[in-house]
């Protein structure tokens, strides 16, 4: 018995099969060509709409190995994490000022964020008193009383210097003398402190220079505690900014330089701070002004806002308050963040 063969598909004749295959192949070819054109059009349209010309997002949906293998370097956006706030801050250059030398430090690390002739040797005028106060704070008990021997009237007549008004025979606290030194910039207070701490001006100047060496600074040398012009008495914008930074790390001194007016323990008048930035410039906390004919106007100014603190030193200026305001404004608005480590101060780094 012959087994029946079953088929479940239609089997055309060979000639018909060839014709069908030819038609099917042609149809498939046209369909494939149309699909390719549609795909290319879709990709081009997407790029035109999104501005995407090979970015990572486009490559994630690419269809060909060539398109996927093409790498494109993307420009860094200023708003991206890699650009960030520092890239924005760097857009504004530091302002031009009238000063001969400038240094801008950021706390707490003491990083130098801007400078002009920062290591030039220049007369500091009464910025010298920053170091006078620092040496006194580190060498003696500030609660002690002092028997005054300096005659401010005679000193003022001889040198035309600013004084707090000391008279021989008075008894004042060391803190009173520091207020008279740092607020009205009393040269009489500077001499009295030098005598109290070291016995005489020369010995005290040696202590000041020892403190300079201890801070690792190279561009400062003192011969007196008050800052009157003298040969071999000089500092630099960087060095004196460092000392302003160091002073602010002393709580008693930082409080004094941030005080606008103080009544010493005497029958005389109050002493007023010559630093006009206090109470005028937002966040101002000190430090000291100075002036002599040779030095011109000088200042170490400090301010803190929004968790940042800057110390600006200016030597040889025609307008210290305008210059300091410009530099502080720039620092808070445009200076890149320089202090990332916590608890580390490197004020003497060059």
pLDDT tens digits, residue range 288-302?
999 999 999 999 999
Q: Active site includes 265?
A: no
What is the residue-averaged pLDDT of the chain? 81
pLDDT on residue 83: 40
Cα three-residue angle 120-121-122, rounded to 5 degrees: 110
pLDDT of residue 140: 96
Do 113 and 90 touch, CB atoms closer than 8 A? no
Looking at residue 25, its pLDDT comes to 52
**Res. 74: pLDDT tops 50:** no
Name the band, by pLDDT with cuts 50, 70 and 90, for residue 348.
very low
Kindly report the CATH class assigned to 91-142+200-334: alpha beta
Average pLDDT over residues 129-140: 98
Catalytic status, residue 185 = yes
What's residue 35's pLDDT? 60
What local confidence, expressed as pLDDT, does residue 107 receive?
86
pLDDT by residue (tens digit) across 210-220? 999 999 999 99
State the pLDDT at residue 228.
97
Catalytic residue among 115, 126, 236, 334: 126
Q: Which of 129, 152, 288, 334 is catalytic?
A: 129
User: What local confidence, expressed as pLDDT, does residue 92 receive?
Assistant: 85
What percent of the chain is predicted at pLDDT more than 90? 66
Inform me whether the pLDDT recorded for 124 exceeds 50.
Answer: yes
Q: Where are the domains of the chain?
A: 20-69, 91-142+200-334
- For the chain, the helix, strand and coil percentages under 3-state DSSP, each to the nearest 5: 40, 15, 45
| pLDDT tops 50 at residue 242 | yes
Name the more confident of 10 and 103: 103
Cα–Cα nearest to 208, from 243, 173, 237, 181: 243
Give the residue-averaged pLDDT of 135-151: 97
Among residues 13, 55, 98, 185, the one annotated as catalytic is 185
Q: pLDDT per residue over 260-288, tens digit each?
A: 999 999 999 999 999 999 999 999 999 99
* Residue 254 pLDDT class (50, 70, 90 cuts): very high
Rg (CA), the chain: 38
How many angstroms separate the Cα of 37 from the Cα of each of 32, 45, 202, 281, 312?
Answer: 9, 12, 93, 67, 66
Contacts of 221 (CB under 8 A, 6+ apart): 209, 212, 232, 233, 234, 235
Per-residue pLDDT at 122 exceeds 80: yes
């Amino acid at each position: 018995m012959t087994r029946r063969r079953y088929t479940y598909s239609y089997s055309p004749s060979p000639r018909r099969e060839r014709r069908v295959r030819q038609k099917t192949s042609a149809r498939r070819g046209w369909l494939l060509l149309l699909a390719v054109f549609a795909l290319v059009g879709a990709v081009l349209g997407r790029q035109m709409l999104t501005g995407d010309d090979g970015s990572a997002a486009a490559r994630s949906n690419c269809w060909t190995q060539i398109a996927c293998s093409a790498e494109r370097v993307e420009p860094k956006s200023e708003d991206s994490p890699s650009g960030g706030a520092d890239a924005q801050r760097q857009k504004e250059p530091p302002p031009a000022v009238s000063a001969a030398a400038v240094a801008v430090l950021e706390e707490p690390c003491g990083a130098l964020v801007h400078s002009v002739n920062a290591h030039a040797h220049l007369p500091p005028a009464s910025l010298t008193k920053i170091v006078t106060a620092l040496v006194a704070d580190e060498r003696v008990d500030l609660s002690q009383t002092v028997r005054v021997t300096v005659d401010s009237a005679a000193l003022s007549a001889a040198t035309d210097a600013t004084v707090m008004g000391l008279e021989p025979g008075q008894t004042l606290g060391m803190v009173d003398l520091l207020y008279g030194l740092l607020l009205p910039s009393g040269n009489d207070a500077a001499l009295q402190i030098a005598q109290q701490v070291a016995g005489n001006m020369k010995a005290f100047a040696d202590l000041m220079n020892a403190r300079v060496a201890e801070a690792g600074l190279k561009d400062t040398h003192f011969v007196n505690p008050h800052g009157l012009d003298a040969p071999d008495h000089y500092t630099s914008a960087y060095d004196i900014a460092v000392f302003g930074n160091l002073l602010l790390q002393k709580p008693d001194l930082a409080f004094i330089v941030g005080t606008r007016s103080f009544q010493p323990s005497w029958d005389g008048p109050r002493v007023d701070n010559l630093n006009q930035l206090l109470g005028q410039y937002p966040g101002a906390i000190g430090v000291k002004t100075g002036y002599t004919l040779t030095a011109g106007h000088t200042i170490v100014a400090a301010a803190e806002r929004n968790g940042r603190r800057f110390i600006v030193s200016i030597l040889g200026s025609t307008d210290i308050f305008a210059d300091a305001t410009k530099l502080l404004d720039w620092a808070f608005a445009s200076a890149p963040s320089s202090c990332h480590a916590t608890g580390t101060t490197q004020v003497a780094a060059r």
